[in-house]
Amino acid sequence: MNKSELINHIALKSDISKAAAGRALASAIEAVTKTLKKGGTVSLVGFGTFGVTKRKARTGRNPSTGAAIKIKASKAPRFRPGKALKDALN
């Protein structure tokens, strides 16, 4: 499912226009992004938790030359599925 299919699904199930569903989805994504940027977590009970994990600086290899390169420390988004989501899949 892509973003437009998700918007269509939200519009159909919520009995709202596609434009309103698109704005609602954009607002939800924006809220999650802002919270994660601040280092917080977003918990949707039954669905899962969005969070941020920190990656340490490390040494890697350039695949074409084999030369060692330094990879800076970074933050990466993380999603942990909730019990209800796991149960729905099994």
Q: Give residue-wise pLDDT tens across range 4-15.
A: 999 999 999 999
Domain containing residue 16:
3-89
Strand partners, 49: 43, 80
pLDDT at 52: 96
Nearest C-alpha neighbor of 10 from the set 26, 33, 31: 26
Q: What is the CA radius of gyration of the chain?
A: 19
Please report, for the domain that includes residue 51, its CATH number.
Answer: 4.10.520.10
Number of domain units in the chain = 1
Look at the block and give the residue holding tokens 């809220």: 31
Confidence (pTM)? 0.79
Look at the block and give the residue holding tokens 């609602």: 24
User: Mind listing the pLDDT tens digit for each residue in 22-63?
Assistant: 999 999 999 999 999 999 999 999 999 999 999 999 999 999
d(CA 44, CA 86): 14
pLDDT at 73: 96
pLDDT at 32: 96
pLDDT at 84: 95
